[in-house]
């Protein structure tokens, strides 16, 4: 199960009726799936419209261009990502230091899922390489927010030189995502967790 997917109810009696997606949300969800699976440049507007089952006029009612659609998808996925991440690390009453390790437990769970195909935001920066491109900037802003969450946990754990430790832990996460995708194995994330634990222990000395 993807960490960004809703939890499925185990009993029919506890199921709630699904909310009908608006046309805008339908476009965003379809575009996200196609962009994630096939890439941004390789996915054309006509393919998105066909899969979403909406007319071109509906698309341009909500988004003036493909770029605007991509930016909206990035924003929505970023919000969902951060909500999922925060919920995961706060699921148990852990001290901030243990929440740092929980971030790597989250990472292992994510890269082990069948839906994992790498990082949506890393892909965006790779396809839109100009540092000033709005899509590159939006993906980078997502990464900066994630880094800020790691930095907050490091500061709350009262580590000396919190910036260095936060930098190192974030690099471990980002590298593990790339290598797990490249190899199709969660082992890089497992090894990143072990390395993170060593860094955390050494930071106390």
Least confident interval from 72-76, 90-94, 161-165, 171-175: 90-94
CA dihedral 121→127→130→131, nearest 10 degrees, is: 10
**Is residue 95 pLDDT above 70, yes or no?**
yes
pLDDT in tens, 163-181: 999 999 999 999 999 999 9
- Per-residue H/E/C for 140-184: HHHHHHHHHHHHHHHHHCCCCCHHHHHHHHHHHHHHHHHHHHHHC
Q: Is the pLDDT of residue 152 over 50?
A: yes
Of 2 and 81, which is predicted with more confidence? 81
Domains of the chain are 16-62 (1.10.10.60), 70-204 (1.10.357.10)
Which residue, 147, 1, 57, is CA-closest to 155?
147
Q: Which two tokens stand for residue 60?
A: 């341009």
Q: In this predicted structure, what is the pLDDT of residue 129?
A: 97
pTM: predicted TM-score of the whole model, two decimal places: 0.85
């Amino acid at each position: 199960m993807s960490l960004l997917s809703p939890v499925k109810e185990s009993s029919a009696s506890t199921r709630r009726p699904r909310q009908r997606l608006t046309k805008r949300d339908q476009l965003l969800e379809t575009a996200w799936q196609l962009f994630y699976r096939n890439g941004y440049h390789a996915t054309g507007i006509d393919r998105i419209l066909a899969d979403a089952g909406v007319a071109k006029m509906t698309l341009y009612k909500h988004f003036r261009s493909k770029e605007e659609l991509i930016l909206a998808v990035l924003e929505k996925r970023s919000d969902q990502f951060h909500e999922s991440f925060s919920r995961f690390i706060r699921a148990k009453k852990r001290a901030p230091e243990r929440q740092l390790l929980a971030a790597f437990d989250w990472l292992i769970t994510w890269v082990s899922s069948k839906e994992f195909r790498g990082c949506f935001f890393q892909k965006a920066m790779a396809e839109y390489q100009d540092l000033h491109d709005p899509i590159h900037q939006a993906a980078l802003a997502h990464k900066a927010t994630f880094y800020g969450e790691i930095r907050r946990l490091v500061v709350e754990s009262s580590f000396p030189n919190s910036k260095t430790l936060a930098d190192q832990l974030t690099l471990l996460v980002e590298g593990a995502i790339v290598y797990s995708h490249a190899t199709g194995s969660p082992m890089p994330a497992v090894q990143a967790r072990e390395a993170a634990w060593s860094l955390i222990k050494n930071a106390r000395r």
